[in-house]
Amino acid sequence: MAEQVVAGGGLVSGAIFNPDFTGVRHLLASTARELPLFRTSKYVQSDIGTETYHGIRQALDAGHTVLFSGCPCQVAGLRLFLQSDYPNLLTCAVACHGISSPGWFQHYRAQCDIARESPVVDFSFRNKAKGWKKFQIRQVLRNGQVLQEYFGHNYFMWSFLRNLCLRYTCYECRYKGDNMPADILLADFWGVGSLHSEFDTDDRGTSLVVLMTNKGFKAIEDIADRLFLAEVDFESAIGKNPPIRFSFARPPLRRKFLRDAFRRKLPVLMKKYPISPAPSLWVRGIGKARKLLRSWIKASRSESA
């Protein structure tokens, strides 16, 4: 979509890493050369800035097509700023787990740089060298060293997946399900193998594209000859992607964790809040234990009878 827009003289706005990889910001791009910066996942709140919003409005008023991509709340923020439904604006949201604290990510990165005595020159949240289902955090240091960690073993990603570093509004997000403010929603298609096994043969990942408006449908239709597409039932498609419909509950430790995160050095913090299995694993385990207990009680009653 981005290539299509800039080829027609339009502009694209999306999230890019800062040069030192300590944060994320939005860029308004007009050339194909800039588009690769928008690629890859970024699990940090991006700094959009009023200049980006003003630039988008100026471009729209001048008749240019603008493609804006971001989290659903950022799409809603743009629409509130514009106060007008521009026919030449195309909005694309990503399915959002929640937005993590940029301050915590910056602090985490600074602590890592000090410990390694060499700054990061390249950073990837979801490197797929070992596959899409086992993605890794990949960091390249200035001294040439390459570090790779399974996402569940990386402390920042652990805190993110445990929902300990999300914004307060993310725990009660209003932009879920039918209240999605974008023309198109993009997500990982978790569970694609059970619905379309032909899209799950190389473990490189499959995208879920949800068309929310006629404008979004037209945008995909215009580039359909460059895509591999298959239509799926919506309810089946989002079955293994709950963040599309629900917000995560705020953990009781959230406030205490973030307070300590900014006050303590990383080794001390990791000792106080050690990496542990994600809540879903615990919930799954509790569910199995309850099922076994019910079966045991039922069997006991049958024997007594």
Q: What is the pLDDT of residues 218-241, one digit of tens each?
A: 999 999 999 999 999 999 999 899
Evaluate whether 79 touches 103 at the Cβ level (below 8 Å). no
E strand or H helix at 301? helix 279-304
Q: Residue 258: how many CB atoms within 10 A of its CB?
A: 17
Evaluate whether 91 touches 183 at the Cβ level (below 8 Å). yes
Evaluate whether 57 touches 33 at the Cβ level (below 8 Å). no
| Nearest by Cα to 154 from 174, 118, 127 | 127
Q: Check pLDDT > 70 for residue 111.
A: yes
Among 18-22, 41-45, 123-127, 284-288, the range scoring the smallest mean pLDDT is: 284-288
Alpha carbon distance 72, 154 (integer Å): 26
| pLDDT grade for 134, boundaries at 50, 70 and 90 | confident
| pLDDT grade for 301, boundaries at 50, 70 and 90 | low
Residue 258 C-beta-side C-alpha neighbours within 13 Å: 20
**Position with higher pLDDT, 295 vs 24:** 24
Q: Residue 263: how many CB atoms within 10 A of its CB?
A: 10
Q: Check pLDDT > 70 for residue 55.
A: yes
* Percentage of residues of the chain with pLDDT beyond 70: 90
Residue 267: predicted pLDDT: 92
Alpha carbon distance 283, 21 (integer Å): 35
Q: Please list the residues that pair with 150 across neighbouring strands.
A: 136
Alpha carbon distance 277, 45 (integer Å): 24
Break the chain into its structural domains and give their ranges.
2-99+167-244, 275-305
Give tens-digit pLDDT for 161-217: 999 999 999 999 999 988 999 999 999 999 999 888 998 888 888 999 999 999 999
Q: Check pLDDT > 60 for residue 259.
A: yes
The token pair that represents 93 in the structure block? 């949201």
Alpha carbon distance 165, 251 (integer Å): 10
85 Ramachandran zone, left/alpha/beta (phi>0; psi -120 to 50)? beta
For residue 195, the SS3 value is: helix
pTM value is 0.87
Composition of the chain by helix, strand, coil, percent to 5: 45, 20, 35
- For 169, residues 6+ apart whose C-beta sits below 8 A from its C-beta are 73
The token pair that represents 210 in the structure block? 């949800």
Alpha carbon distance 123, 142 (integer Å): 12
| Nearest by Cα to 135 from 149, 156, 120 | 149
Give tens-digit pLDDT for 195-208: 889 988 888 889 99
How much is the average pLDDT of 256-260?
A: 95
CA 221 to chain centre: 25
For residue 223, the SS3 value is: coil
Q: Check pLDDT > 70 for residue 287.
A: no
For residue 169, the SS3 value is: helix
The token pair that represents 285 in the structure block? 């385990």
Q: Sign of torsion, CA 69 99 263 261?
A: negative
